[in-house]
Amino acid sequence: MNALRWARPRSSLAARLAVITLGVAGFESGACLFLPAVDDDGYTACINDDDCDAGRACAVEVGLCAPPPWHDTSFTERRLIVVENVDDAELAAGTAIPIRIGGESATIALDDVKADARFTSFDEATGQWRVAGVYRDLFADRFTVWAPLPAAIGAGRREALVWLEQGTEAGTPTVLEEPATTFLLFDDLDDFPVDDTSTDRYFIAAPGAAAPVPGDGQVTIGDNVTVIWRQALTLPIELTFRARVNGLSCEEVFVGLTGNDAVGFNPPSAGFFLGPDLGTVGEVYATADAAVATELSPPRVFSEVPTALHRFTVQADGATVRLLIDDVVFDESADLRPTFDNAVPMFATVQVGGACSIDVDAMWATPLPAALPLLTVQEPIRLNITF
């Protein structure tokens, strides 16, 4: 709170309730009590929690909507990030939501996030805080924080996603990185099988001389090789490969979703198809019996620097497919006919044909719908306990 005011003396119990409930620093001294200027700072009247905005609960003792108490006074700044479900179906608990830090589509400006920033979550039922595990995808000039939803959100609802806390005296990094629990599926390729054989986790078809080459946190997939991640993914889904294309002489390269965990390129499917000179199309077989692919637009090179490290993202949900390169839409259709059957499982797949290869550095998947959630970042609140 930026504004404080003097208030009349209260009973000791009432004073403590006011200070604790409102979640700000306060004290009793003689005949005076510091309280926030509630009229200007969102402390609206309430009877129950349904009367309060996301991130606030009804403090029935005082009849006001209040934020949670300050979590950790070693962090002197916090701000709430609110997520709104604009889809017509429930957004599942655990869905990883992207928070863009910096860049043209930023949720928060890069300069507004300090080196010691971390993300936390407050459980209204237990009154407990926890440090939220997230995943940071780092670009050269920006980064994306993926934060899992702490609870399911109904259609049209707004709820707290996470609190951003920062401003410690030390200023050193405190973020908790937990990609394995952030996503439905995450793979940093550190444990890719070195003998290039199929496992419960991977299907590997390497009928030619060139087999996958595991490296330091990546795998190189060469000519005539297919790798399928065997964890079933039901729609809606957003799948991302952080990968690099080596060479320009690809013939038939596919990066995306396919319909079988033991057969290369089996419909239904959706993804990027790279041909000669890296001419790339968005290619879709929406049903298992589809005989002809739907190509979303004419072939074109997907980037001015195609052999750099890129994020290849496929979003699939019913009648919608959307392909993105580094968070920028490359191709999309919101009116597929026939549509995907969201109950049919699909599998993350990379298949390479031609005198080129694909380095996969990491991949992840989360059940985001085509109607992507909206984020609102509230103004920062700074803790000031100097009187």
Q: For residue 15, give the 3-state DSSP assignment.
A: helix
How confident is the model over 317-356, as pLDDT tens digits?
A: 999 999 999 999 999 999 999 999 999 999 999 999 999 9
- pLDDT for 209: 58
Return the half-sphere exposure (C-beta side, CA atoms, 13 A cut-off) of residue 114.
Answer: 20
Q: Which residue has the tokens 């979303």?
A: 296
Asked which of 83-87, 214-218, 295-299 is least confident by mean pLDDT, the reply is: 214-218
Q: For residue 50, give the 3-state DSSP assignment.
A: helix
Q: For residue 277, give the 3-state DSSP assignment.
A: helix
- pLDDT for 339: 95
Average pLDDT rounded to a whole number, residues 158-171:
97
Asked if residue 375 has pLDDT above 70, the reply is yes
What is the DSSP-derived secondary structure letter of residue 327?
A: T
Average pLDDT rounded to a whole number, residues 132-141:
97
- pLDDT for 18: 43
Domain ranges in the chain?
Answer: 4-69, 77-183+372-381, 185-366
Q: Which two tokens stand for residue 64?
A: 């006001």
Instruction: Give the Cβ contact number of residue 311 at 10 Å.
Output: 20
How confident is the model over 168-214, as pLDDT tens digits?
A: 999 999 999 999 999 999 999 998 987 778 889 999 988 765 678 88
C-alpha angle 27-31-34 in degrees, rounded to nearest 5: 35
Asked which of 9-23, 113-127, 264-278 is least confident by mean pLDDT, the reply is: 9-23
268 cis-preceded (ω within 30 degrees of 0): yes
How confident is the model over 303-323, as pLDDT tens digits?
A: 999 999 999 999 999 999 999
Asked if residue 32 has pLDDT above 80, the reply is no
More confident residue, 29 or 89: 89
Please tell me the distance from the alpha carbon of residue 67 to that of residue 211, in angstroms, as a whole number: 55
Please tell me the distance from the alpha carbon of residue 219 to that of residue 246, in angstroms, as a whole number: 12
Rounded to whole angstroms, what are the CA distances from 239 to 217, 259, 387?
Answer: 19, 14, 51
- pLDDT for 360: 97
Q: Longest C-alpha distance within the chain, in Å?
A: 85
Amino acid at 190: D
Strands 143-148, 118-123: parallel, antiparallel or unpaired by DSSP? unpaired
What is the DSSP-derived secondary structure letter of residue 217?
A: S
Total residues found in the chain within this entry? 387
Q: Which overall architecture, per CATH, does domain 185-366 show?
A: Sandwich (2.60)
